[in-house]
Amino acid sequence: MKIPGMLTPETLESGVIDPVTTRKYSDQQATVVPVYTDEQDIVIVTWNLMPGQENESHAHPNGAHAFFVIEGEGIYIKHQPGTPESAEFSIKAGDTVNIPRGVVHGIRNTGDKPLSYFAITTTAGGEYQRVVDGVVQQH
């Protein structure tokens, strides 16, 4: 999953990445800024959400996932396995959320300022499943 502009082992140089420099917002839609991939084990992106925007419910069935909130506040939505139910947890700058593989989750900016988070997913070549109204859609 190589995306133009995304760093790779060949272009990484020092390996030091300041996630603050990957904040890019749009009033029209949530934005995703590609940061790094080795095309085998890991993908790193920054999600940027204006107030009211969200990264809709989805799962990474073949990879664990974690994110670090750079700025802003919102809600982490964790769906209960095998049920249509979900739980919501407040998140804010400085928080880290760890998500086991296959867990359906989403993030919504409920604050009045931009929300940005640095997301790391293992198994870079793995599936990504968007979940709409409880129905899994392959991507």
> Over the stretch 48-57, which tens digit does the pLDDT of each residue have?
999 999 999 8
What's the rounded Cα separation, in Å, for the pair 107 and 52? 10
Q: How far is CA 82 from CA 97, 124, 135, in A?
A: 21, 25, 12
Average pLDDT score, the chain: 86
Average pLDDT, integer, range 127-137? 62
Q: How far is CA 19 from the centre of its chain?
A: 13
The pLDDT tens digits of the residues spanning 64-104 come to 899 999 999 999 999 876 667 789 999 999 999 999 988 88
The answer to whether 40 touches 126, Cβ cutoff 8 Å, is: no
Please give the CATH architecture assigned to the domain spanning 26-138. Answer: Sandwich (2.60)
pLDDT of residue 81: 66
